[in-house]
Amino acid sequence: MAFRRSSPRLAAPPATRPRPHSEPSPDAQSATALAVADTKSAIREWPVDETAFLRELLRCHGLSSALLDRLMELATAPPNVARVVDRLGLALAAHLHFLPLEDLLQTPILLYGAPGSGVSTIAAKLAARFDEEEILVVTTDSRGSTGERVQLQEALDVLGLPLAIAADATTLRSTVAHAKGRKVIVDTACGAPTEQKCADQIRKLTEAAGAQPIFVLAADAAPDLARANAAAAARIGTRRMIASRFDAERYIGGVVVAADAGQLALVAASVTPHFSFGLRGLTPENLARRLMAAALRAERWRIAPL
């Protein structure tokens, strides 16, 4: 993805043969949904100047003025870097923190996030990299009927991995202590760290498991909400984050805002809805490409490389 064109104007979809009213188009429903989702982007004509283009692109991602100005300052500094996507990558590397996905499970980890953020899906994607003798997945959700617990159980059943249940901190401490050298993933049902009860529970479970807390943020989270949750996560000792639903959202500024607000190291992003694969490590270079993909035509931004 070079982004060398002076004007990354979005092209209109090709004209199609009119259909009789009695002949429904097989693509009508999906085309309508895509048109609605991409209305703002489809009519946008991006600035010709590369600096103005990058500023407008970052603004569309929902970055605050201060963060946008800082990234622009860093992106326009390198005098010998021709491609704007490379300059953005250098800016992200200078301002944000990144951690290799391979280093994540050197200690037990505890995953948490707001309801619906994909915590259980991330747990399954991480566990899928190992076999039963290498990984131990624990849930703190003792209510077997909840959707998240059921989803995780079904995913692990397919992977041939067991699911341990630790309803309280004491049980969790004992379960992790008997992991027998396996890597440990703790899937919690605590909720958002902005809620004091949830924050206290996350802190308590993290201490019991001797785990590294990992904040899971959905890519479609509004920037203001992402900022508040990341700041709250940092206050309870969280230093790392994983993004979910990168495949479903065009503008992902909430992820960048959260990493900046909480000084959280970006580790990985989920790029498919599948429960066992599609988890990719985040680097400054592939995050820059993903941010730039928002300026691509509607049918191409989803398959932009990460």
pLDDT-based confidence at residue 147 (cuts at 50, 70, 90): confident
pLDDT digits (tens, 9 = 90+) for 8-46: 433 444 444 444 443 444 444 443 333 334 444 444 788
CB of 25 within 8 A of CB of 31? yes
pLDDT at 254: 97
pLDDT-based confidence at residue 80 (cuts at 50, 70, 90): confident
Full-prediction pTM beyond 0.85?
no
Domains of the chain: 43-97+284-306 (no CATH), 101-282 (3.40.50.300)
Q: How confident is the model over 192-208, as a mean pLDDT?
A: 96
pLDDT digits (tens, 9 = 90+) for 44-72: 788 889 999 999 999 999 999 999 999 99
φ and ψ at residue 290, rounded to 5 degrees: -70, -40
CB of 250 within 8 A of CB of 301? yes
pLDDT-based confidence at residue 297 (cuts at 50, 70, 90): confident
Strands 265-270 and 279-281, bridge-based pairing: antiparallel
Instruction: Tell me which of 9-13, 41-45, 133-137, 153-157 is least confident.
Output: 9-13
Distance (Å, whole) CA 140 – CA 153: 13
pLDDT at 40: 45
pLDDT at 145: 53
Say yes or no to pLDDT of 7 above 70.
no
pLDDT digits (tens, 9 = 90+) for 207-227: 999 999 999 999 999 999 999
Strands 240-244 and 265-270, bridge-based pairing: parallel
Say yes or no to pLDDT of 199 above 60.
yes
pLDDT at 305: 58
pLDDT digits (tens, 9 = 90+) for 222-265: 999 999 999 999 999 999 999 999 988 999 999 999 999 999 99
pLDDT at 211: 97
Question: Pick the residue with more confidence: 74 or 9?
Answer: 74
| Percent with pLDDT over 90 in the chain | 70
pLDDT at 189: 82
